[in-house]
Amino acid sequence: MRFYMPAEVYEEENCVLRHARDLEKLGRHALIVTGRHSAEKNGALRDVQAALESSGIAWTHFNEVEENPSVDTVMRARALGLRSGCDFVIGVGGGSPMDAAKAIALMLRHPEAEEDYLFDAAAATDPLPIACVPTTCGTGSEVTAASILTRPSLKRKGAIPHAIFADLALLDGKYLLGAPRHVLANTTMDALAHLVESYLNVKATPYSRMCVAAGLTEWKKCKDVILGRREATAEDCAAMLRASAFGGMAIAQTGTVLPHGLSYALTVYTGMAHGKACGYFLRNYMAEAAAADREAVLAMADFADLEAFEAYYCATCGRDDVPADVLDRSVRELLENPAKAALAPFAVDEGVLRRIAGI
């Protein structure tokens, strides 16, 4: 068994400002990668800029990362980083900016490479140094090697074959305090999917399941917040962010399985939020697993049974009517990805996938 998680992680109040010296170790000119607005609104961008300036580090800001970041966005950011002379990258935000930051750091290292380099499994994986500052509580990208990108020309979304870990992850729950409840619902559902998919996985080990157990302990503390029964406290926000990080550590060992693989067509063709799309398939995925494993993971998440989980999903994310042709595309695309299907702890064929997809 092996447990590998090379990112250096700090979690505390005012974490970014307290670890300006750690950012200083990464380089002298940062490319800060964010979405258009949220990193500015929640104060994370301001903290990162202040930390860099306190250490005399120059920075350039790229704020054009969209949800489900595209290869085109990565290449535009690389061009800006090259013009500015950036020698490391900081991803600030949810999974989209952090995933994009990893790919950008790789492409900055290879200024003459075309975008196909991102999808060349035989190419060198040698990115510039990377720091991540998460401001949502679902992806865990700050502690995973994954970078999920959309290829608009192919209308496909998926992980690039390069395993890219951040060098530094700075976690501060205060950035979640102003997040809308629907954002928290979608992102915490993504974290739950990571935890469940890692536990119900042929690559699961006592070490990965240790992360799952710790993550679900934190995750279930905040169910009442997501259900709208009370307002989030600073402690809740720290717990949600911690659950997300544990989920990231878990899938860094095992990978995600069928719910994530099936979800990509929903995000591309219906615009459904990523966490909600993963949760769409989670009940039926758990239903296919061995009873003992299913009951163990449900108990750790404080659900009495599959129906209790389904009620929670509907109350927090809502179960949309997805067109049958999109669900069919989800199944067909996953059939083309046997490596993903092979991670499920039960035999997978088209019939199983169609049951999980609900068609």
Q: Are 16 and 158 members of one domain?
A: yes
Q: Are 353 and 335 members of one domain?
A: yes
- Per the domain annotation, does 2 fall within a domain? no
**pLDDT at res. 153:** 82
**pLDDT at res. 196:** 98
Q: Kindly indicate the confidence band of residue 328, based on its pLDDT and cuts at 50, 70 and 90.
A: very high
**pLDDT at res. 77:** 98
Residue 269: give its domain's CATH number.
Answer: 1.20.1090.10
Percent of the chain residues past pLDDT 90, beyond the cut:
96
Distance CA 16, CA 45 (A): 10
Question: Do residues 39 and 135 lie in contact, with contact meaning Cβ atoms separated by under 8 Å?
Answer: yes
Q: Are 200 and 257 members of one domain?
A: yes
Residue where a domain terminates, one of 119, 152, 174:
174
- Per the domain annotation, does 165 fall within a domain? yes
**pLDDT at res. 155:** 79
pLDDT digits (tens, 9 = 90+) for 128-182: 999 999 999 999 999 999 999 999 888 788 899 999 999 999 999 999 998 999 9
- Per the domain annotation, does 231 fall within a domain? yes
- Per the domain annotation, does 130 fall within a domain? yes
Q: Are 191 and 149 members of one domain?
A: no
Q: Kindly indicate the confidence band of residue 74, based on its pLDDT and cuts at 50, 70 and 90.
A: very high
Tell me which H or E stretch contains 240. helix 234-254
Distance CA 41, CA 184 (A): 16
pLDDT digits (tens, 9 = 90+) for 215-245: 999 999 999 999 999 999 999 999 999 999 9
Q: Are 212 and 164 members of one domain?
A: no
Residue 114: give its domain's CATH number.
Answer: 3.40.50.1970
Q: Are 254 and 353 members of one domain?
A: yes
**pLDDT at res. 290:** 98
**pLDDT at res. 9:** 98
Average pLDDT of the chain? 96
**pLDDT at res. 156:** 82
- Per the domain annotation, does 294 fall within a domain? yes
Residue where a domain terminates, one of 126, 150, 174:
174
Q: What is the mean pLDDT of residues 11-18?
A: 97
Q: Are 42 and 103 members of one domain?
A: yes
Q: Are 194 and 120 members of one domain?
A: no
Q: Assess whether pLDDT exceeds 90 at residue 55.
A: yes
Q: What is the mean pLDDT of residues 72-92?
A: 98
Q: Assess whether pLDDT exceeds 90 at residue 203.
A: yes
Indicate the number of domains in the chain: 2
Comparing C-alpha atoms, which of 272, 74, 300 is closest to residue 182? 272
- Per the domain annotation, does 309 fall within a domain? yes
Q: Kindly indicate the confidence band of residue 200, based on its pLDDT and cuts at 50, 70 and 90.
A: very high
**pLDDT at res. 280:** 98
**pLDDT at res. 66:** 95
> Could you list the residue range(s) of the whole structural domain that residue 271 is in?
181-357
- Per the domain annotation, does 3 fall within a domain? no
- Per the domain annotation, does 258 fall within a domain? yes
In DSSP terms, which residues pair with 91 in a beta bridge?
A: 33, 132
**pLDDT at res. 154:** 82
Percent of the chain residues past pLDDT 70, beyond the cut:
100
**pLDDT at res. 152:** 86
Sheet with 168-171, edge to edge strand ranges = 8-11, 168-171, 130-134, 88-93, 29-33, 58-62
DSSP letter (8 states) at residue 70: B
Q: Are 130 and 72 members of one domain?
A: yes
Residue where a domain terminates, one of 149, 174, 199:
174
CA angle, residues 268, 269, 271, in degrees to nearest 5: 70
Q: Are 89 and 127 members of one domain?
A: yes
In DSSP terms, which residues pair with 149 in a beta bridge?
A: 158
Q: What is the mean pLDDT of residues 185-214?
A: 98
**pLDDT at res. 157:** 81
Tell me which H or E stretch contains 14. none
Q: Are 227 and 88 members of one domain?
A: no
**pLDDT at res. 194:** 98
**pLDDT at res. 158:** 83
Question: Do residues 172 and 12 lie in contact, with contact meaning Cβ atoms separated by under 8 Å?
Answer: yes
Q: Are 140 and 30 members of one domain?
A: yes
Question: In whole angstroms, how far apart are CA 113 and each of 73, 89, 91, 238?
Answer: 15, 18, 22, 40
pLDDT digits (tens, 9 = 90+) for 251-295: 999 999 999 999 999 999 999 999 999 999 999 999 999 999 999
